[in-house]
């Protein structure tokens, strides 16, 4: 019997915005969100530049008998082999998040983008609008003593803009 992964309020709020299809969890860290989404049936690309983070993700997936997760070493969307249906970037600053999205625009055609910035959500919203993303929703979560913004956007179809 497999035990369902219990997510924090913040990670649960992020997961609520994830739609059907594949997920790229950029900066997967401990792998909790990636493994929880895989348990729900998604094929998940768990990306991190830290080999230690990827090892934690691999161990958790193995402990939970999760097979539909692919840990990938690298930065941003570069190691993701295709255009994911959903992209999650959580826990990074607004500037770093915008850089990841900008550098991976060729893989974001109409993708659902779920973001939880560590800082400056207003800067992130401005940057998303400047790149023609459509903001579709947001929520504010109080976890411990800190408020966290979770943003949901749709990426434009860059393939038709060339």
CATH of residue 113's domain is 3.40.50.150
Q: Let me know if residue 78 belongs to a domain.
A: no
Domain range enclosing 104: 9-72+85-161
Q: Is the dihedral of CA 95, 96, 98, 103 positive or negative?
A: positive
Quote the pLDDT of residue 154: 96
Quote the pLDDT of residue 4: 85
Count of domains for the chain: 1
Closest by alpha carbon to 158, among 107, 84, 82, 115? 107
pLDDT by residue for the chain (162 residues), tens only, comes to: 568 899 999 999 999 999 999 999 999 999 999 999 999 999 999 999 999 999 999 999 999 999 999 999 999 999 999 899 999 999 999 999 999 999 999 999 999 999 999 989 999 999 999 999 999 999 999 888 889 999 999 999 865 554
Q: Let me know if residue 93 belongs to a domain.
A: yes
Residue 153: Cβ within 10 Å count: 25
């Amino acid at each position: 019997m497999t035990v369902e992964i219990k997510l924090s309020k913040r990670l649960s709020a992020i997961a609520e915005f994830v739609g059907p299809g594949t997920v790229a969890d950029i900066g997967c860290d401990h792998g909790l969100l990636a493994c929880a989404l895989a348990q729900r049936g998604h094929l998940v690309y768990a990306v991190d530049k830290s080999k230690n983070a990827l090892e934690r993700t691999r161990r958790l997936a193995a402990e939970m008998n999760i097979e539909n997760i692919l840990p990938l070493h690298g930065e941003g969307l570069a190691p993701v082999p295709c255009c994911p249906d959903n992209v999650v970037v959580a826990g990074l600053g607004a500037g770093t998040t915008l850089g990841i999205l900008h550098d991976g625009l060729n893989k974001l055609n109409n993708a659902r983008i779920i973001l939880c910035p560590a800082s400056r959500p207003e800067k992130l919203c401005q940057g998303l609008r400047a790149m023609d993303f459509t903001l579709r929703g947001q929520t504010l979560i109080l976890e411990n003593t800190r408020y966290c913004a979770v943003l949901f956007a749709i990426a434009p179809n860059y393939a038709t803009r060339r």
